[in-house]
Amino acid sequence: MIKAVVGANWGDEGKGKLTDVFAKESDIVVRFQGGNNAGHTIINDYGKFALHMLPSGVFYDHVTNVIGNGVALNIPAFIKELNAIVEKGVPMPKIIVSDRAQIVMSYHVLFDKLEEERLGKAQFGSTKSGIAPFYSDKYAKIGFQISELFDEAWLDAKLDRILPAKNVLLTHLYHAEPLRKEDVFAELIAYREQISPFVHDTVKYFQTAVDEKKVILLEGQLGALRDPDFGIYPYSTSSSTLAFYGPIGAGLPQHIDEVYAVTKAYSSSVGAGPFVSEIFGEEAQALRIRGGDAGEFGATTGRPRRMGWFDVVATRYGCQVQGATHLVLTNLDVLGYLDEIPVCVAYETDGKRREHFPNITRLENSTPILEVFPGWKSDISQIRNYDELPELCKAYVDALERMLNVPISLVSNGPKREQILTRSPKL
Ligand code: GDP
């Protein structure tokens, strides 16, 4: 059984919480793309955690956590996060790392920072974790796979090929210090020491797991609209955020049985790029301070998130490109303060009403067409049975499901594990 939990929007939809809930019934939880450039917030019996590099199954001792070949592995961040959860009382989790995963080097982080500085106002809002330089190098075939760390002569020869080009950019484009071969070599050897206890042939591991009919959970990072192909390129990330990339980035070439796309009951986004249903000023702040578990501020960056009303056009498209079989609506409790709840039901682009999510240049010129739904004006966070939600609240969920045309099977009414309600879809 293979399940995927992925984002239907711009990221921060609450996937971490859902993965934590699903991990309970899973044997294996896998990260298949991205690096430590985004974070999941998980609140459980051990406390509150922002996971960036570790799969969300690390809190359960029956789960094997896998970092797949598609991940941008920042080894110091991985070790630091692992130590941090163990220090907070979590038993040492079972984790294996693919020998085909590639390594985020310190110079990837440096290039990310230098490039954003060079771009100045035109920057993409990178988290400066080195992710774009990392994936550029991976596909330019000048990255380092973990398996390469174990052959020093190979590393030595490879550095002679890579470093001259890096140093031309560093000294001439960015006016920075060049890299020294001995430093980079020492960095690679240090990584080898740190990561070797975790390294596995994960392709082989998954073959056996599939034969044994294990329950496997693919854990996506960011959301559909950050995908390099289907998202809002160039305000996208550098690896595919889609469920169907999951089996590739995991090292598990199999059919996915269930794709759970996650969306909030409103919109939020970190980073640059068009955001049609965005709201500003006091209206945004009122939503921001109530959102999530402690306001809508980035789990990795601490940046205030951009806020907006639920966007049917973007979310319907997000579900389509995710191949969603189910939709999970999170943060429904947050809307309890509103008399009326606006929803972006269509876009207006160049004077025309548009139901389908447009390409980037048209998106830039789109404005929201809003429809207003009555608010339920109450705190729903203590409710444990979907049927007990206020009628107006259920009507809001029904309306979203109708417009999105994807069955909403779970609704989250608070950040904690137990705040999840099972709903019978009406589709
Ligand atoms: P992810 O990257 O998709 O896991 O999302 P984040 O963890 O960055 O953001 C989701 C935020 O919403 C976190 O602060 C969660 O603790 C919080 N959260 C998740 N589900 C709910 C919910 O149903 N209600 C509330 N109030 N907060 C939630």
Residue with CA closest to ligand 1 atom 27: 292
Q: How large is the average pLDDT for residues 53-58?
A: 94
Task: Tell me, yes or no, if 257 is annotated catalytic.
Answer: no
Q: Tell me, in angstroms, the distance from the centre of ligand 1 to residue 342's CA.
A: 21
Task: Out of 12-16, 148-152, 317-321, pick the least confident.
Answer: 12-16
Residue with CA closest to ligand 1 atom 11: 292
The residue from 20, 27, 40, 326 that is catalytic is: 40
Q: How large is the average pLDDT for residues 308-331?
A: 98
Q: Tell me, in angstroms, the distance from the centre of ligand 1 to residue 28's CA.
A: 22
Mean pLDDT (the chain) is 95
pLDDT value for 300: 64
16 lines ligand 1 (CB under 6 A): yes
333 lines ligand 1 (CB under 6 A): yes
Percentage, residues of the chain above pLDDT 90: 89
Per domain, the residue ranges of the chain are 2-101+198-259, 102-195, 263-422
Q: C-alpha angle with apex 45: 44 to 49, nearest 5 degrees?
A: 45
> For residues 175 and 194, what is the distance between their CA atoms, to the nearest angstrom?
32
Q: How large is the average pLDDT for residues 31-58?
A: 89
Task: Give the class (CATH, top level) of 263-422.
Answer: alpha beta
Q: Which fold has domain 102-195?
A: Adenylosuccinate Synthetase, subunit A; domain 2 (1.10.300)
Percentage, residues of the chain above pLDDT 70: 99
344: amino acid identity, one letter:
C
From 17, 40, 44, 237, mutation site for ligand 1 pocket: most ligand atoms within 8 A of C-beta: 17
Task: Tell me, yes or no, if 40 is annotated catalytic.
Answer: yes
pLDDT value for 299: 64
pLDDT value for 40: 79
pLDDT value for 38: 78
Q: Tell me, in angstroms, the distance from the centre of ligand 1 to residue 292's CA.
A: 5
Q: Is the distance from CB of 159 to CB of 184 less than 8 angstroms?
A: yes
Does 133 sit behind a cis peptide bond, omega within 30 degrees of 0 on the bond before it? no
51 lines ligand 1 (CB under 6 A): no
Residues with Cβ within 8 Å of 296's Cβ and at least 6 positions away in sequence, in order, are: 12, 268, 287, 288, 289, 304, 305, 307
> For residues 1 and 182, what is the distance between their CA atoms, to the nearest angstrom?
47
Task: Give the class (CATH, top level) of 2-101+198-259.
Answer: alpha beta
Task: Out of 48-52, 58-62, 96-100, 139-143, pick the least confident.
Answer: 48-52
Q: How large is the average pLDDT for residues 247-254?
A: 95
Instruction: State the pLDDT confidence band at 128, using cuts at 50, 70 and 90.
Output: confident
Instruction: State the pLDDT confidence band at 16, using cuts at 50, 70 and 90.
Output: confident
Backbone angles phi, psi at 61, to 5 degrees: -80, -10
* 240, two tokens: 């595919």
Backbone angles phi, psi at 39, to 5 degrees: -140, 150
**Which pLDDT tens digit goes with each residue over 90-101?**
999 999 999 999
Domains 102-195 and 263-422 share a fold: no
Q: Which residue has the higher pLDDT, 293 or 101?
A: 101
415 lines ligand 1 (CB under 6 A): yes
Cβ-based burial of 40 (10 A; exposed 0-12, middle 13-18, buried ≥19) = buried
The residue from 12, 27, 99, 227 that is catalytic is: 12
Q: How large is the average pLDDT for residues 201-219?
A: 97
Q: Which residue has the higher pLDDT, 326 or 44?
A: 326
Instruction: State the pLDDT confidence band at 50, using cuts at 50, 70 and 90.
Output: confident
Label residues 361-377 b or e (16+ Cβ within 10 Å = b).
eebeebebbeeebebbe
Task: Out of 10-24, 53-67, 289-303, pick the least confident.
Answer: 289-303
For the cut 90, the answer to whether the pLDDT of residue 115 exceeds it is: yes
Q: Which residue has the higher pLDDT, 126 or 417?
A: 417
Q: How large is the average pLDDT for residues 68-95?
A: 96
For the cut 80, the answer to whether the pLDDT of residue 221 exceeds it is: yes
For the cut 90, the answer to whether the pLDDT of residue 125 exceeds it is: no
Q: Tell me, in angstroms, the distance from the centre of ligand 1 to residue 43's CA.
A: 9
Indicate the pTM of the whole model: 0.95
**Which pLDDT tens digit goes with each residue over 366-382?**
999 999 999 999 999 99
**Which pLDDT tens digit goes with each residue over 155-188?**
999 999 999 999 999 999 999 999 999 999 999 9
Cβ-based burial of 253 (10 A; exposed 0-12, middle 13-18, buried ≥19) = exposed
Q: Tell me, in angstroms, the distance from the centre of ligand 1 to residue 291's CA.
A: 8
Could you list the beta-strand ranges (E) of 197-252. Answer: 199-200, 216-223
